[in-house]
Amino acid sequence: MHANIVVLPGDGIGPEIVSATLPVLEAVAARHGHSFSFQEHDIGGIAIDRHGEPLPASTLEAAKNADAVLLGAVGGPKWSDPNAKVRPEQGLLAIRKGLGLFANLRPVRPHAAALGASPIKSELLEGVDIVVVRELTGGIYFGDKTRSATDASDLCRYTVAEIERVVRSAAALARSRRGHLTSVDKANVLETSRLWRDVAARVVREEFPDVTLEHQLVDSMAMHLLSRPRAYDVIVTENMFGDILTDEASMLAGSLGLLASASLGDGKVGIYEPIHGSAPDIAGKGIANPYATILSAAMLLRHSLGLEAEAAAVEAAVSSALDDRVFTADLAPAGQAVDTTRAAQAVIERLR
Ligand code: IPM
Ligand code: MN
């Protein structure tokens, strides 16, 4: 097949991890008789520098017309003045919203070889296989904001339709896995959470009677995620809770540098990006972990291009590189780390 992939390297380590990942996609294409074209565009801080805005219209337009979007990361100290009118993160939020990508899938599957890198005891991690489905285009991220000299506010708002569609995506995913869905909210305090809980219960009861639904409060969920991670299959939650819980969940896998994500909507085009940020502290050194971006590219092959065998091949190749302890600095004991390019090369060598 031919696919047109829009590439948004962004800021910090974004360009390094993305340019390490493109050769992996090229190798997959060569091996399976596909041709992928890559069209690079600006987003985030670099877009502010070059175009005066974090999401230029040309970038959004290209993304809308693409088969899929591969994104690195946005943000950095250069643009992080809290009083700045435009910030890199606004570009990321705007492209998610602009493409209608309401469901953000973040798989958490600790790899045996990397268990030692996790601060959690290995015996709690074996067999952990979770997908967090984070609502991505609503809630407090997108509500009205106010700021005066003496106060500030962020509105958290959800509509029934917004909750229904993301719960449906998550329940359908649970049905294809172990049939267990955990919906996370703060229904003991927040009105949006009480609506969330009601809607989740109804959608699952009416449309997914074969899926078991459990409700959890976000504070105790934060604890259970570390104390009994094996108990979870698919977790669905609102935007900000999902943001926080998935950084926490990355510690189950041993490194933030291993967690991939797919942002999906009703259409075929999705955005695929690692869940980590632009890591300005290590940017430009060529030492960032490319596996999360490579695993995001695998999700791109699966969800936007329908290439399941190719996606599985990339995932197996990353697994095999990890088995062989091809570790970047976030995973390796001091002195034993490989650089970004070498890690990506190891994946390419292991592709079948
Ligand atoms: C993420 C990031 C973003 C978010 C930031 C960079 C806006 O933390 O993708 O998890 O909060 O969604
Ligand atoms: Mn985050």
Superfamily of structural domain 1-101+264-352: Isopropylmalate Dehydrogenase (3.40.718.10)
Whole-number pLDDT of residue 276: 96
Alpha helices in 66-105 (DSSP H): 88-98
User: What own/partner pairs with CB < 8 Å and gap ≥ 24 does 190-195 have?
Assistant: 190/156, 192/139, 192/156, 192/157, 192/158, 192/238, 193/238, 195/158, 195/160, 195/163
Instruction: List, for residues 117-160, the tens digit of each pLDDT value.
Output: 999 999 999 999 999 999 999 999 999 999 999 999 999 999 99
For the CA of 89, the closest atom of ligand 1 is 7
pLDDT digits (tens, 9 = 90+) for 66-104: 999 999 999 999 999 878 889 999 999 999 999 999 999
Ligand 1, atom nearest to 239 Cα: 12
Phi, psi of 198 (to 5 degrees): -60, -45
Where in the sequence of the chain do the CATH 3.40.718.10 domains occur? 1-101+264-352, 119-253
Once rounded to an integer, what is the mean pLDDT over residues 244-254? 95
Tell me the catalytic residues: 141, 186, 219, 243, 247
| Atom nearest to 247 CA in ligand 1 | 10
Q: How far apart are CA 210 and CA 203, in angstroms?
A: 12
Residue-level pLDDT at 274? 97
0.85 exceeded by pTM: yes
Closest ligand, as measured to the CA of 273: 1
Evaluate if residue 185 carries a pLDDT over 90.
Answer: yes
User: Which pLDDT does position 47 carry in this prediction?
Assistant: 98
Most informative mutation of 11, 74, 86, 89 for ligand 1 (most atoms within 8 A of CB):
89
Token pair 């197996």 in the structure block, residue = 316
Q: What is the pLDDT of residue 83?
A: 83
| Distance from residue 347's CA to the centre of ligand 2 (Å) | 26
d(CA 125, CA 119): 10
User: In the chain, which ranges are continuous DSSP H helix?
Assistant: 14-32, 45-51, 57-65, 88-98, 122-125, 160-176, 191-207, 218-227, 239-253, 291-303, 308-323, 340-349
| Ligand 1 centroid to residue 213 C-alpha, Å | 27
Please check the confidence at residue 42 and state whether its pLDDT lies above 90: yes
Mean per-residue pLDDT over the chain, rounded: 97
Does 207 score more than 90 pLDDT? yes
Are 21 and 293 within 8 A, CB to CB?
A: yes
- Amino acid code (one letter) for 138: G
Which among 13, 92, 245 is the best mutation to test ligand 1's pocket, defined by most ligand atoms within 8 Å of the CB?
A: 92
Ligand 1 pocket by Cβ (under 6 Å): 75, 89, 92, 243, 275, 277
Query: Is the model's pLDDT at 352 over the cut of 90?
Result: no
Local structure of 174: helix, strand or coil:
helix
Is there a contact between 104 and 134 (Cβ–Cβ < 8 Å)? Answer: yes
Q: Which ligand is nearest to the CA of 88?
A: 1
Give the model confidence (pLDDT) of 286-309 as tens digits: 999 999 999 999 999 999 999 999
Q: From the options 3.90.1150.10, 2.30.40.10, 3.20.20.80, 3.40.718.10, give the CATH code of 119-253.
A: 3.40.718.10
Contact call for residues 7 and 39 (beta carbons, < 8 A): yes
Token reading at 20: 């390490």
